Amino acid sequence: MSTHYNTEQLKEVAGGDEEFMAVVAQAFLEEIPPDLEALEEAISNDNRELAYQFAHKMKPNIEMFGIAVLKDITTIEAWTKTSKNSAHISDELDNVVTTLKLVFEELKSDFNL
C-alpha cells in the first residue's frame, strides 16, 4: 500500500469488504480528479464561491482515505471568505494537487483500477 493515503477509515466503513473498498476507490477516481481541476480553475479565476464548494465537496473523500491534505483544504476554504489574493494559498493548493495526483496513481495500482 501507499504512503499518501491509508484505508483504515474505509476498512471500518466497509467492514473489511475488499470489493466494496474497490468500488469506493473507483468512485473516488471518477469524482475527485474533475473536482480538483474545477477547484484549481475556480481559484485561478478568483471564483471564491465555487472554490469553496469544490474544496468542501472533496473533504469527506479526502478524510475517508486518510490523505494528509485536509488542513490544506480547510485553509483553502477559509481563504474563500477573505479578500486575500490567491498567492496566500498557492502552497496549500500545490500540496493538494501534487498529493492527490500521487494518490490517484497509487489507488489505480493498489486496487487494480
The residue segments making up the domain with residue 57 are 8-110
Chain-centroid distance of CA 51 in Å reads: 13
2 inside domain = no
Averaged over 70-92, what is the pLDDT?
A: 96
Averaged over 3-29, what is the pLDDT?
A: 93
In this prediction, residue 94 carries a pLDDT of 98
In this prediction, residue 2 carries a pLDDT of 52
User: What pTM was computed for the model?
Assistant: 0.93
Distance CA 62, CA 44 (A): 22
Residue range 33-76, pLDDT digits in tens: 999 999 999 999 999 999 999 999 999 999 999 999 999 999 99
Distance CA 69, CA 85 (A): 21
CATH, residue 64 = 1.20.120
71 inside domain = yes
